[in-house]
Every structure is written in C-alpha cells, then in structure tokens.
Amino acid sequence: MAVSDYTIDYVTCINYLENVFKSNNNHSIKEIFDRVIRFNDSKISSDLNDLILVLKPTPKIISIIKDISPATTLVGFKLLDNVEENELIKVAKELRDKNKCDYVVANDLSNIRLGNHKAFIIDKNNNQEVAYGKENIAKKLVKKLINDKQL
C-alpha cells in the first residue's frame, strides 16, 4: 500500500493572503498562516480563484503494521532520487529496521527515468538481490514470499 506522505491541512486563497499580509506586516509569515489565514472548517466558495493548499505529513502506516499483526509479512518500498547505490541500500535497511519489514524493495528514480529500472530486494537477514524491470522485480519478490511461506 502506498499512502501519500502528505494530506491537506488547510486551504486559503491568494487574494485573502495578500490582504492579511498588508494589514499584519509586524508578524512573520508562519504566524500569519497559523493564526489568520486558515478558512478553518468553513465551506470554500467555488467563486474563489488561486487557492493555496497547506499540507501536513500523514502518519506512517508502515510503522504500526507489525505492532498490530506481528505475523504479517511486511514489504517496504523505498524510492530515492539520484543517490549512490550504497546510500540507497543504507536508507532501505534503516526503513527495514525501523518498521520491522521482512523485505524492502529499494529503487532510484533516476534509473527508472533512464529506462533502467533497477531494484534491490533486501531481506531481514541482510541478503540482497538485484532485479531489473518491473516484471522481474515482481517475480523475484513473489518467489521470495512464496519460499518464506513454505519454510
């Protein structure tokens, strides 16, 4: 499951923001946003233009799965962009350890962009396997999951 890293915290519009800034020039931008700008839970008029969305982080569901269901086989996915392979693997292992994952599939977006979809499949024992292409990555991961269930 991939859940968005962010969700909407609140909405405002640029015209309202401009008026508030003009009348609150002694306050920081953060103070103005935190205290004044929010439309709160009121309905946003469909006549408004230039809406601004302020986002907040969502809870990381992966971090509670093993607490709720320890027997679940948990596969984490880590996608970074334009990093060295050793950094990608290091970060993937950190995700695995932090969230008690059985496997982590680690990709670099820069490889995917170039048409070279390379992934590292890392298990809880630090074994790692390289797979190329979506289909090959999926097959290797499924094979590992099936083999684990047979043990």
Residue 124: which pLDDT band, with cuts at 50, 70 and 90? very high
Whether the pLDDT of residue 139 is over 90: the answer is yes
Which position has the token pair 């809880």? 124
Instruction: Select from 18, 23, 20, 8 the least CA-distant residue to 50.
Output: 18
pLDDT of residue 35: 60
Q: Which CATH number fits domain 62-150: 1.10.274.30, 2.30.29.30, 3.90.1150.10, 3.40.50.10300?
A: 3.40.50.10300
Q: What is the pLDDT of residues 7-21, one digit of tens each?
A: 888 777 777 777 777
pLDDT of residue 26: 74
pLDDT of residue 34: 64
Distances (CA, A) of 47 to 16, 26, 52: 13, 30, 14
Whether the pLDDT of residue 40 is over 60: the answer is no
Where in the chain is CATH 3.40.50.10300? Answer: 62-150
Residue 37: which pLDDT band, with cuts at 50, 70 and 90? low
Distance CA 94, CA 107 (A): 14
Whether pTM exceeds 0.85: no
What is the residue-averaged pLDDT of the chain? Answer: 85
Whether the pLDDT of residue 23 is over 80: the answer is no
Mean pLDDT on 107-119: 90
pLDDT of residue 36: 56
pLDDT of residue 43: 67
Q: What is the pLDDT of residues 53-109, one digit of tens each?
A: 888 888 888 989 999 999 999 999 999 999 999 999 999 999 999 999 999 999 999
- Nearest 5°: CA angle at 138, between 136 and 139? 65
